[in-house]
Structure 1
């Protein structure tokens, strides 16, 4: 998105839908697996009131599975980022395709010695800044907005233009983005991250080749892909898991935490009675650490 993108385009985007999913989790699920006190604040007032008044149309099995995927991948990424920050070796956090993610809002004030970089297109950054300014907690001075388009710019120069230090390790969250990029762009971004010092980590999700999925997952994947394509955001890339992990290892990532949807369910949603589980859909999740 460019700076001129209107709010209507943002409201129909996948980023806005993912924000709705995170907000709905705090309303519909019990117990709540992911606490986010700002989830509703970044939504438009009309959306917020509609969800609070009647959230149940968003609780069919397909919507619940998609919401579990959003929550599960967020928990995985935030766990990795907090582990890196609490190790005291990493003081730089990068949210690639930040959208309406609230990690910076929730942690930047408590970690004033860390620097938080929110990377997205200008229209989304401006929309988010407007909403965040109206919350009870103002945006901290250690949060930096980085206008960036993966298809037309290089990642590290964009970050350094806002003060990012390439001589220091960083922790990256890169969720819900790789499917919309071609494979070459995904690999180039991972190479850039891998060029940073020891201790650097990145958590991302990716699509698995359809022919490697079981029939039910293929059906779910086709349904979800059509949903996003109809929104004007078609999926482009997919990967073979063992080849992806091998290439990450060759890049210098020495620790690879690689999960399928069943693994994510077991880690974050075990023994739930409310059916809050990921049903499938062809995504895997990785935390790669140098």
Structure 2
């Protein structure tokens, strides 16, 4: 299997949705990721830049994965907001887990001040990302450390240590669009690794509700999501229960600060007509 075949395809798909959202006419509904279109391939760029093609792209996404487009924009805004709050409150390191086509190290470079940013991903996805970064204007490569981790051969603890991430420094972890594709054991191992960082460190991550995996699925759009992801070769594997999330995190050394579900995330999209997916939330937890 070649390297490109091992990289995440959902990373580029999510970036395409951010790129499409960055071209919304209504500023209240616009995705703030104005660099996303530089990190996607030609087919996606054409699909997001040309209005008729963008309309078709969004229609196809909404048919296959209802609510995903709105959710991606709300998620981008919410994570941006929490990231900047944490760095302004003293976090000196930013670790982006499963960085994919994340542009925050470059898009928010000035606002992040002197915080050191590390992007963590599978070697194949990381190599693809670095190639894409050549398209970015003023990329500020000097502030980013790239950390490769292959969980088939190593651990997150070892990869972070080898990559120069300092566990004694207050750190904010961003973990976007990843947990549904991991097993419960892999999610828990990552949370436990984060809990070994300095007091005051935090993690922001999104997750799917555990009951979306029940059969029959209690969410009307859930089955469409499962079929779409399976067709791309990246099936969803696990979820968490929002009702017991605080206890679940506490058992792994973290204190839940906030848990924003669809209703709370909708504040980022005032006046939106498109729905937001109903079975995902964004948690913010801290090392006590």
User: What is the aligned partner in structure 1 of residue 276 from structure 2?
Assistant: 278
Structure 1 stretch displaced more, 178-187 or 48-57: 48-57
Q: Distance in 1 between matches of 2:55 and 2:94?
A: 35
Cα distance in 2, alignment partners of residues 260 and 110 from structure 1: 26
2:268 corresponding residue in structure 1: 268
Paired position in structure 2 for 1:178: 179
Report the counterpart of residue 57 of structure 2 in structure 1: 58
Query: Are 1:83 and 2:82 an aligned pair?
Result: no
Partner of 1:13: 9
Residue 93 of structure 2 is matched in structure 1 by 92
Partner of 2:285: 288
Measure the CA separation in 1 of the matches of 2:213 and 2:47.
39
Partner Cα distance (1:151, 1:277) in 2: 38
Structure 1 residues 157-213: Cα deviation after superposition (integer angstroms, max 9, x where no partner) = 211211110111210111111111111111111011111112211111112123699
Point out where structure 2 has 5 or more consecutive residues left out of the alignment: none
Would you identify which runs of 4 or more consecutive aligned residues in structure 1 move more than 4 Å?
A: 61-64, 109-112
Tell me how far 1:289 sits from its aligned partner.
1.9
Query: How high is the TM-score relative to the length of structure 1?
Result: 0.87
Gap change, CA 1:279 and 1:242, over 3 Å in 2: closer
Q: Which runs of 5+ in 1 are unaligned?
A: none
**Does the aligned pair in 2 maintain the 1:256–1:289 contact within 8 Å?**
yes
User: What secondary structure sits across from 1:258 in the alignment?
Assistant: strand
Q: 1:217 to 1:74 in 2, by over 3 A?
A: farther
After TM superposition, list the pairs within 5 Å mapping 1:160-171 onto structure 2: 160-171=161-172
Q: Given the superposition, is the C-alpha separation of residues 150 and 205 from structure 1 closer, same or farther in structure 2, using an over 3 Å criterion?
A: farther
- Flag the 1:57–1:190 CA change in 2: closer, same or farther, 3 A: same
Cα distance, 1:48 vs structure 2:
1.1
Q: CA RMSD in A?
A: 2.5
**Matched residue, 2:250:** 249
TM-score normalised by structure 2 residue count: 0.88
1:198 paired to 2:185 = no
Alignment length, in residue pairs? 281
